[in-house]
Structure 1
Amino acid sequence: MARIIHRLYNERAFRRERVIRDRSNPLDIYNDEELIERFRFCRRDLFELIEELTPDLEFVSDRNAALPPSLQLLIALRFYANGAFQNTVGDMVCVHRSTACRVIRRVSLALSRRLARYVHLPNEAEAAAMKQQFRQASGIHGIVGCIDGTHVQIQAPSENEYLYVNRKGYHSVNVQIACDANYKIINLVARWPGSTHDSRILRESALLQDFEEGRCNGLLLGDSGYPLKRWLMTPLVAPTTDQERRYNTIHSATRSVVERCIGVLKRRFYCLHGEMRMHPERVCTVIAACTVLHNICISKRIPLPRHHQPLPVPEEDVRPRPAVGIEDIAGRLVRAQIINQL
């Protein structure tokens, strides 16, 4: 009996005691400029986000010192903003790495469930305004947005690793983004491995169905990796006349708005710029959450923090990157009509 008591005493002595640390609330410490620098939102907008997400983040009980929704949101925003390791993010409010991991997951799921509310194609009034803005910038009538793909680097997954190796040789998730003239994202597809071609993602997306069936009236601009459609204008691979070269120049200059939008998105939420060490499914959830937050920032005109300029727009690849599939004849006619007008 004495041996048993001695063994239990030793086990208790070497067992790590559970410690509930004192937590600091960044809302009580920083001013608006410092909050934007660290969390990308000012105090008023943070309170609005907390109020909206509270039903999804609030725990039923306060037992075990449950984190309030405000601290959960701040932990996730800090991770989105700088992409630091989760133990570093957890140290901000004195929580364990595993707690920070679960919190980021909960907040990401709560935000991704609001994707349809904040990321959607423009209605008739919004489309008319977009057409006017693009026409003033390019001279081409009918443009409602631009589309492009971007890769978010990830750690090599344990399953189907080869599918995630993109054409540049690193593991990634290929993300389809369409935006309007104000950098607001109107369509997002974040679920395909990095080796998937852009045209495949478009072909399997609801965006193609919306335009093909007339639920959205207007033109999109895409690079040579997309198929030419009556509603999707791509550049000419080998222009021969001055009008065709002028069309390619205007097309490239106008389509760069989506590249700048991607640059702003990745600079505002730097976790999308570096390597994300998560399962691909969780990476896609984080991408959706950051897209929702990006559109909120655009709607509220929240500026980028100081010293956080957008990433430079990469020079367009001069090598032709033909789309998979056959060009649409109606698309050729529409493009020829635009070239003649120019």
Structure 2
Amino acid sequence: MAMVIKSRKRKRHGHTPVEQIRYAPIDERDRRRFEYLNDKIWKNDVTCVNMLRLNRASFFHFCKLFRDRGLLEDTTHMCVEQQVVMFLHTIGHNVRNRVVATNFGRSGETVSRYFNKVLHAIGELRNDFIKPPSSATPSKIQGNPRWDPYFKDCIGAIDGTHIRASVPKEMEAAFRGRKSYTTQNVMAAVYFDLRFTFVIAGWEGTAHDASILRDALERPNGLRVPEGKFYLVDAGYGAKPGFLPPYRGVRYHLNEWGSNPV
């Protein structure tokens, strides 16, 4: 069905009627978009993981969660699945707006608008996926003579990672640290089941790990370490109550730990 935008005819003040603007049928474009998703995204789990970093079951479960929570909704020509596909493809491959717009048959403005919608929706799920660590002794430590009782009060590990960031030219010096490109230094705390318990992002790539940890501890809703518990950290964070770095001057060999199934 062709879309027609009717103009209001003005006869006063010498205005002449404007001819109606007609658009081509959009059903065919929608059909081609879904064909692209079926052939290039959802064809099988291998293709889906390559394109989105998620298998098909996880992807559709993710979309259902957004829809059930009312965080994203279908529009006339953009279902929730399409919105999430464009977002995951962008962050999974670090592709630019114009590339996504070309691949998915959308305008750059549309891609940008729905990217922000999905990003906000994911942020609203933070309490579902980022939870405080348990105060109980982890099952991987409890009863294991190699770790228990030495690490019975350990509640996880903290480390930082550098993620590429796009910043204004005048700010690049602060964000260009150990990498040749601009990055932000993101600190994360992870429990033994690989569940994130705390994440702080936004710091410049040149920021020291100890400064980021201090900021995380000083924030009103920041990182909290239960009494008597501690996190394992690297030497950059320093030794302080609640944080245990490696012993200085001791060489740790990867071949002693890399193949350890525990």
Alpha-carbon spacing, 1:147–1:253, altered in 2? closer, same or farther (3 Å): farther
User: Could you tell me how far 1:130 is from its partner in structure 2?
Assistant: 5.0
For 2:156, what is the secondary structure of its paired residue? Answer: strand
- Output the CA distance in 1 between the equivalents of 2:254 and 2:156: 12
Q: Which has the higher helix share?
A: 1
CA shift digits 1:212-264 (9 cap, x unpaired): x52xx533221221121232111233x3xxxxx3xx5279977x8xxxxxxxx
Residue of structure 1 in register with 2:49 after alignment: 36
Taking the aligned partners of 1:132 and 1:86, their CA distance within structure 2 comes to 49
Q: Compute the TM-score of the two structures, normalised by the length of structure 1.
A: 0.56
1:227 aligns with 2:227: no
Please, which moves more after superposition, 173-182 or 24-33?
Answer: 24-33
- Provide the C-alpha distance between the structure 2 equivalents of 1:106 and 1:133, rounded to a whole number of angstroms: 46
SS of alignment partner, residue 95 of structure 1: coil
State the superposition RMSD in angstroms.
Answer: 3.7
Between stretches 29-38 and 187-196, larger displacement belongs to 29-38
- Kindly name which structure, 1 or 2, has the bigger radius of gyration based on alpha carbons: 2
1:287 — aligned with what? none
- The 8 Å contact of residues 133 and 181 in structure 1, kept in 2 or not, is answered as no
Which secondary structure state, in structure 1, belongs to the residue aligned with residue 46 of structure 2?
A: helix
Query: Could you say if the C-alpha distance between residues 110 and 102 of structure 1 is closer, same or farther in structure 2, counting changes exceeding 3 Å?
Result: same
Structure 2 letter corresponding to 1:129: S
Q: Kindly tell me: are residues 195 and 129 of structure 1, through their superposed partners in 2, closer, same or farther at Cα, counting changes over 3 Å?
A: same
Q: Does 1:94 align with 2:109?
A: no
Structure 1 residues not aligned, in runs of 5+: 240-244, 257-342
Q: Report the alpha carbon displacement of residue 161 of structure 1 after superposing the two structures with TM.
A: 4.1
Partner of 2:166: 155
Deviation at 1:27, TM superposition (A): 4.5
Aligned to 1:57: 72
Deviations 1:76-111 (A, max 9, x none): 111122222222223333212221122222111111
Deviations 1:134-168 (A, max 9, x none): 97579842332221111112234256444323255
The one-letter code of the counterpart of 1:210 is R
With 70-79 and 88-97 compared, the bigger mean Cα shift is at 88-97
Alignment of 1:1-342 (within 5 A): 20=26, 21-22=29-30, 23-24=33-34, 26-27=37-38, 30-54=43-67, 55-58=70-73, 62=75, 65-125=76-136, 127-129=137-139, 131-132=141-142, 136=146, 140-142=150-152, 143-158=154-169, 160-168=171-179, 170-206=181-217, 210-211=224-225, 214=227, 217-237=228-248, 239=249, 245=250, 249=252
Q: May I ask how many residue pairs the two structures share in their alignment?
A: 231
Q: TM-score, normalised by structure 2?
A: 0.71
Query: Take 2:255 and 2:156, find their aligned partners in 1: how far apart are those partners?
Result: 13
Tell me by how many angstroms 1:115 deviates.
1.6
Paired with 1:163 and 1:134, the residues of 2 have a C-alpha distance of 45
Q: Which of the pair has the greater relative contact order for Cα pairs under 8 Å at 6+ separation?
A: 1
Whether the 8 Å CA contact 2:141–2:148 is kept in 1: the answer is no
Report SS of the residue matched to 1:204. helix
Cα distance in 1, alignment partners of residues 184 and 130 from structure 2: 19
User: For 2:188 and 2:256, how far apart are their aligned partners in 1?
Assistant: 17
- Counterpart contact for 2:72–2:117, Cα < 8 Å: yes
Does the 8 Å CA contact 2:135/2:155 hold for their aligned counterparts? no
Instruction: Tell me how far 1:45 sits from its aligned partner.
Output: 2.0
What's the secondary structure of 2:235's corresponding residue? coil
In 2: Cα distance, 1:194 partner to 1:77 partner = 24
- Is the Cα contact below 8 Å between 1:221 and 1:251 reproduced in 2? no
